Structure 1
């Protein structure tokens, strides 16, 4: 994670966690049409506006990485989740766009 107290993770660190088999949950808060364009395999998809209704079902036993297009909506989601007690929630810096550009060049960019 970047910096003390910052609830953020870089795409390279998430990639290393996934490749290393570390338990991690990815929460994609984009709209369904965005998820249809591209997504990280295994993501839990809950649009930001529906998060309060579905947060209770999210895992608390491992890091929870919030993802959106560029990281702004997911930063809001992570802030709210941390306020709700999800201490392991972190935001993916740069969002799915950074993931596509730096980790998975086969992923659609929009």
Structure 2
């Protein structure tokens, strides 16, 4: 097994997956107010109170994409989720900040 339990995902690839309707789970680990003000459509806010529901509801074989502010904190969360048995875990490079600049039409809030 490799040292890294998750993969990096560039915004263009995520946009393609979303446009194609690929089955995946998007989780946003930013603070609740930031999430309410803007997030990628279809994403769910993930924090210490909602993690149990995610673990119960999300099949381990379903791809999970973790979003944070700039793509740094999401790497730790992605590694943790991979440790929980998720097979395909991704950290969005550049985070929501970069996503919002590159794909403003794909921002809800």
TM-score range, shorter chain: 0.7 to 0.9
Gaps of 5+ in 1: none
Q: Which residue of 1 aligns with 2:89?
A: 89
TM-score, scaled relative to structure 1: 0.80
Query: In the comparison of the two structures, how many residue pairs are matched?
Result: 104
Residue 64 (1) aligns with residue 86 (2): no
Q: Which residue of 2 aligns with 1:34?
A: 34
Whether the 8 Å contact between 1:25 and 1:59 is mirrored in structure 2 is no
Structure with the bigger RCO (C-alpha within 8 Å, sep 6+) is 2
SS state of the match for residue 70, structure 1? Answer: coil
Gaps of 5+ in 2: none
Deviations 1:9-49 (A, max 9, x none): 000000000101111110111110110221011112112x4
CA distance in 2 between counterparts of 1:25 and 1:14 reads: 11
TM-score, scaled relative to structure 2: 0.81
Deviations 1:60-87 (A, max 9, x none): 2421100011111211100111112112
SS state of the match for residue 86, structure 1? Answer: coil
